[in-house]
Amino acid sequence: MFGISEIAIILIVVIVLLGAKRLPELARSAGKSARILKAEAKAMKEPKGAEGKAGAPCVIRGETVARHETGDPGRDTGQQ
């Protein structure tokens, strides 16, 4: 009978022979996954203050201005 090492070698050969077309695609997706995982791990290690300052939304306060009706049809008064 076959041992575990022989079965593993046979499976590897079958996978390489039958899946040769898909191996580059699998390697590419594994590389992308590794890069994403590395970037996420790096983002988690960064202090929250450094990320919060750059990514926080900025609130701009506005003024309320009253409209004066002049009766001049050339100016926009908000009424039609």
Q: pLDDT tens digits for 6-61? A: 989 988 888 888 777 787 888 899 899 999 999 999 988 877 655 445 566 777 77
List, in order, residues 6 or more apart from 67 with CB less than 8 Å away.
77, 78
Residue pair 43/51 in contact (Cβ under 8 Å)? The answer is yes
Residue pair 77/67 in contact (Cβ under 8 Å)? The answer is yes
CA dist list (Å): 19 to 10, 26, 27? 14, 10, 12
CA dist list (Å): 70 to 64, 66, 67, 74, 76? 19, 13, 9, 10, 10
